[in-house]
Amino acid sequence: MGTHLSPHCPRSTPADRRRDAVRDALGVPGEQAAATPDVRYGRSWTRDGVAGRELTWAAGDDGPDTAAWLLRPDRHAETAARPAVLLMHAHDGVKFYGKEKVADGPDGVTPAVAELRTRGYDGLAVATGLVQAGFVVLVHDAFPWGSRRVPWPELPDRARSAGFTACPPGLDTPEVRLRRYEAAAREHENGLAKAATLTGTSLAAKVVAEDLRALNVLLATDGVDPNRVAAAGFSGGGARVAHLLACSTRLRAGVITAMMSTFADVADGRADDTTWLMITPGLPAVCDWPEVAACAAPRPLLVQFARDDSHFGPQGMRDSESLLRRAYVGSDALTTQWFAGGHRFSADMQAGAADWIRCNV
């Protein structure tokens, strides 16, 4: 049964006022409020034509620091500034890891994400493909993932109870502890979203604030052309791209993969599998989901759809494509691509995204 009954929600705020209205609904302060943090540098490595560097910076709250990897083509003699991509890791139902899901660090592939990559990414590290296509790539952990995850002792009793229900006490191996943590973190995401709403903001806004800081880091990085920076993300990472396009004027382009439908479609039996990064109270009273991403129009936007996406219905995806085209009417800056298969970022999708960024950034 459909649950999206009001004809006035979502409502379409006029395009010239939509960006401010989206920011207000999310609870995101102006872009100018995002500071460029002081960056600390760690280990360096070179592998498969990729030169990497560990970065950390203060996240801007009382929590742990943000850990990130800066990846660039391994060409030491090069002096020209390169285009760059801020790559957003997805939700994936895995919060213990963040950047490791889409990039390889100094120690190579993190064993615990190998199966996830096989299932959702054709076994590939998305960042490696982008670097090999010629881009500088920054991938960072966002709250509450990876280095920014909530430590087990700080999870509330309800969340830890969900973890022990999924993996009862007794056998205590790293794999069991990881499964237990993920079950607890899934439950805790609801509490984080509630607490954010009660304090006048949203879980999405907290993530946007961290993504804006990361964008500032990338824009200030030596060897990066600040006028040629795109953001790209799959699934929950695509939700982060949509919000960043609405909240920043400094991106040249955006790529959203397998994260585009309408709020009506999500409400019609799909909300339980949809991250709080897409569901923010009050946002549907401003505009529909495609119009959030289209706040950036006429800046170039690529939206990739999976025809058999388990998270969204075919009609919802087609309706969202129509809304995007309406927002970009009179411009050739919108590209939509449809791929066979389910909710995943396949090798073909990754190649299509890299080719598109090369032509538009």
Going by the DSSP 8-state scheme, the letter that residue 108 receives in this structure is: B
Query: What is the spatial distance between Cα 231 and Cα 123, in angstroms, rounded to a whole number?
Result: 22
If one counts every other C-beta atom within 10 angstroms of the C-beta of residue 114, the result is 11
Q: CA nearest 335: which of 260, 268, 236, 223?
A: 260
DSSP structure string for 236-270: HHHHHHHHHHHH-S--SEEEEES----HHHHHTTT
Give me the CATH topology for the region 40-148+203-360. Answer: Rossmann fold (3.40.50)
Query: What is the spatial distance between Cα 124 and Cα 20, in angstroms, rounded to a whole number?
Result: 37
So what's the pLDDT on residue 8? 60
- Residue pair 66/147 in contact (Cβ under 8 Å)? The answer is yes
- 250-280, pLDDT tens digit by residue? 999 999 999 999 999 999 999 988 999 999 9
So what's the pLDDT on residue 121? 98
Pull the structure tokens for residue 2: 């459909």
Q: CA nearest 351: which of 257, 261, 260?
A: 257
Ranges of H-type helices in 138-294: 157-166, 174-198, 203-219, 236-247, 263-267, 289-293
So what's the pLDDT on residue 2? 38
Walk along the chain (361 residues) in steps of 10 and give the mean pLDDT of each run.
Answer: 53 89 91 84 96 96 94 84 97 96 96 94 98 98 98 96 92 90 96 94 95 97 97 98 96 98 95 92 95 96 97 97 97 97 97 98 95
So what's the pLDDT on residue 172? 83
If one counts every other C-beta atom within 10 angstroms of the C-beta of residue 31, the result is 16
So what's the pLDDT on residue 4? 47
If one counts every other C-beta atom within 10 angstroms of the C-beta of residue 317, the result is 24
Query: What is the spatial distance between Cα 27 and Cα 35, in angstroms, rounded to a whole number?
Result: 17
CA-CA-CA-CA dihedral for 184, 189, 191, 196, to nearest 10: 150
Q: Count each helix (H run) and each strand (E run) in the chain, helices first.
A: 11, 9
So what's the pLDDT on residue 3? 39
Going by the DSSP 8-state scheme, the letter that residue 281 receives in this structure is: T
Helix (H) or strand (E) holding 41: strand 40-47
Query: What is the spatial distance between Cα 237 and Cα 57, in angstroms, rounded to a whole number?
Result: 20
Query: What is the spatial distance between Cα 125 and Cα 113, in angstroms, rounded to a whole number?
Result: 10
So what's the pLDDT on residue 15? 87
- Residue pair 44/52 in contact (Cβ under 8 Å)? The answer is yes
Distances (CA, A) of 311 to 19, 67, 152, 304, 316: 26, 29, 29, 14, 10
- Residue pair 72/51 in contact (Cβ under 8 Å)? The answer is yes
Query: What is the spatial distance between Cα 59 and Cα 214, in angstroms, rounded to a whole number?
Result: 9
Query: What is the spatial distance between Cα 20 and Cα 292, in angstroms, rounded to a whole number?
Result: 11
So what's the pLDDT on residue 33? 67
Query: What is the spatial distance between Cα 354 and Cα 133, in angstroms, rounded to a whole number?
Result: 7
Tell me the domain boundaries of the chain.
40-148+203-360, 152-198
Instruction: Describe the crossing of helices 203-219 and 174-198 by its angle, rounded to 10 degrees.
Output: 100
